[in-house]
């Protein structure tokens, strides 16, 4: 097996070429930086008037109380989205797909947002089945929060259809914010109608389809109806309802840090310090399992949430590239022994997984080409279980 000793990193930010869907061009610049750079040429006043046009099309229309749905975790971005939409005079229905391990801060922030004066729906897919799926997803595709991510797209779109509310307002376009194929980076509306199942599976399911789960557990009595929260609705149903999704970030300049400042002013509770494995105190506060999700990104691709935040901050001139390297060196890629102060073993108990079992799953998903191994090709770990990147000299 050839080791990867020299991963290519974007020259402007520090995203590695190993990030899925990211391209680093011949000029050494990644697609995320390229798309961000293009934002300075955007006429944001024009975009705002385009947004008003979209809103006017859906305001007070249809046979229901609501003009739109906002998928919401109660976090910094959804608080910003909801309050902005209220400013524009729309009547939104907020929908939270509650996380498997909702934290007290997460609960507080959901309640904070409710108390801004909105109708709010909390949907909790069958927790018994969800725990099982989270373990299966961890074991098969290395993603413990698969259910949360998939249900946000699938269940929310199903509610939109069932309730006859055609407009869904998402936050940022992840493929524009972080880099992705050019043809997806400019999507701003009709996200749901224009994209097909293949797109959904490529960009939203992390390699595990609900039909795979059904195949695995059919004999145990799991039916396809049980997996509806994780199955994207039929295209015909979507078209019949006229469901469209827009990215608010296409119309109003998107900045996660500013969203946080805005939301904190509006009552968002943050963690008392930087969240473990991150360099901010104000995101991913609603789910104890999030750090495991991020750690698997590190095992598979050699970077984690610390790098993501450094890249967003570099692009917005909040830190230099050298400062970012030092931050990643200090905080990035660490074994997730706690999250929000809770021990890993306690977090794993939720999905009936022991620490030994977890370590085996970690090793299974670790890309050995990226990390230092001994001469028996076994991963080298320090006393805190941390791995060592082959190219750690970069940092
Ligand atoms: Zn970049």
104 C-alpha to ligand 1 centroid (Å): 35
For position 16, what pLDDT does the model report?
Answer: 92
Share of the chain above pLDDT 90, in %: 77
332 C-alpha to ligand 1 centroid (Å): 17
339 C-alpha to ligand 1 centroid (Å): 28
Of the candidate ranges 86-100, 169-183, 291-305, 326-340, the one whose mean pLDDT is the lowest: 169-183
Using left for φ > 0, alpha for ψ between -120 and 50, and beta otherwise, residue 267 falls in: left
Helix axes 256-265, 305-315, angle to 10 degrees: 90
Please state the rounded mean pLDDT for residues 41-65.
90
| Distant-in-sequence contacts of 377-381, Cβ < 8 A, 24+ apart | 377/1, 381/335
For position 44, what pLDDT does the model report?
Answer: 96
d(CA 134, CA 127): 10
d(CA 349, CA 389): 29
Please state the rounded mean pLDDT for residues 237-246.
89
For position 195, what pLDDT does the model report?
Answer: 62
DSSP 39: G
For position 1, what pLDDT does the model report?
Answer: 42
Helix axes 355-365, 290-301, angle to 10 degrees: 40
Q: Please determine, for residue 359, whether its predicted confidence score (pLDDT) is greater than 70.
A: yes
Answer with the residue of higher pLDDT: 40 or 203: 40
Answer with the residue of higher pLDDT: 23 or 365: 365
32 C-alpha to ligand 1 centroid (Å): 6
Phi and psi of 6, rounded to 5°? -130, 80
SS3 content of the chain, % helix, strand, coil (to 5): 50, 10, 40
For position 234, what pLDDT does the model report?
Answer: 87
> CB neighbours of 112 closer than 8 A, spacing ≥ 6?
74, 79, 266, 267, 268, 269
Of the candidate ranges 79-93, 140-154, 180-194, the one whose mean pLDDT is the lowest: 180-194
224 C-alpha to ligand 1 centroid (Å): 41
30 C-alpha to ligand 1 centroid (Å): 4
pTM of the predicted model as reported, rounded to 2 decimal places: 0.92
Q: What is the mean pLDDT of the chain?
A: 91
Reported confidence tier of residue 333, pLDDT bands at 50, 70, 90: very high
If DSSP codes are grouped into helix, strand and coil, which group holds residue 244?
Answer: strand
Q: Which helix (H) or strand (E) holds 121?
A: strand 119-123
134 C-alpha to ligand 1 centroid (Å): 32
């Amino acid at each position: 097996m050839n080791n990867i000793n020299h991963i290519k990193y974007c020259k402007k930010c520090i995203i590695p070429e190993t990030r899925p869907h990211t391209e680093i061009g011949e000029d050494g610049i990644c697609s995320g930086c390229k798309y961000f750079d293009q934002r300075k040429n955007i006429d944001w006043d024009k975009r705002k008037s385009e947004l008003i046009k979209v809103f006017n099309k859906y305001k007070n229309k249809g046979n229901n109380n609501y003009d739109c749905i906002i998928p919401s975790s109660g976090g910094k971005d959804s608080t910003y989205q909801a309050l902005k939409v209220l400013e524009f005079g729309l009547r939104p229905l907020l929908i939270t797909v509650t996380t498997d391990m909702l934290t007290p801060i997460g609960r507080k922030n959901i309640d904070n947002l409710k108390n801004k004066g909105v109708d709010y729906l909390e949907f909790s897919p069958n927790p018994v089945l969800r725990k099982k799926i989270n373990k299966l997803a961890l074991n098969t595709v290395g993603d413990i929060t698969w259910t949360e991510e998939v249900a946000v797209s699938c269940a929310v779109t199903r509610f939109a259809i069932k309730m006859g509310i055609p407009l869904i307002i998402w936050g940022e376009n992840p493929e524009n914010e972080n880099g992705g194929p050019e043809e997806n980076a400019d999507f701003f509306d009709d996200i749901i109608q224009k994209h097909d199942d293949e797109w959904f599976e490529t960009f939203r399911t992390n390699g595990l389809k609900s039909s795979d789960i059904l195949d695995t557990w059919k004999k145990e009595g799991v039916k396809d109806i049980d997996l509806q929260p994780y199955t994207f609705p039929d295209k015909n149903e979507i078209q019949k309802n006229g469901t469209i999704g827009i990215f608010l970030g296409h119309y109003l300049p998107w900045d996660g840090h500013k969203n946080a400042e805005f939301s904190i002013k509006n009552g968002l509770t943050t963690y008392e310090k930087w969240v473990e494995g991150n360099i901010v105190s104000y995101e991913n506060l609603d789910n104890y399992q999030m750090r495991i999700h991020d750690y698997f990104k590190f095992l598979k691709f050699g970077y984690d949430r610390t790098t993501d935040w450094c890249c967003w901050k570099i692009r917005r001139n909040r830190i230099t590239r050298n400062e970012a390297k030092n931050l990643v060196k200090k905080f990035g890629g660490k074994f997730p022994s706690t999250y929000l102060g809770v021990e890993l073993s306690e977090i794993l108990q939720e999905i009936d997984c022991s620490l030994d079992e977890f370590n085996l799953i970690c090793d299974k998903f670790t890309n050995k080409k990226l990390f230092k191994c001994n001469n028996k090709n076994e991963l080298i770990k320090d006393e805190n279980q941390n791995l060592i990147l082959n190219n750690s000299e970069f940092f």
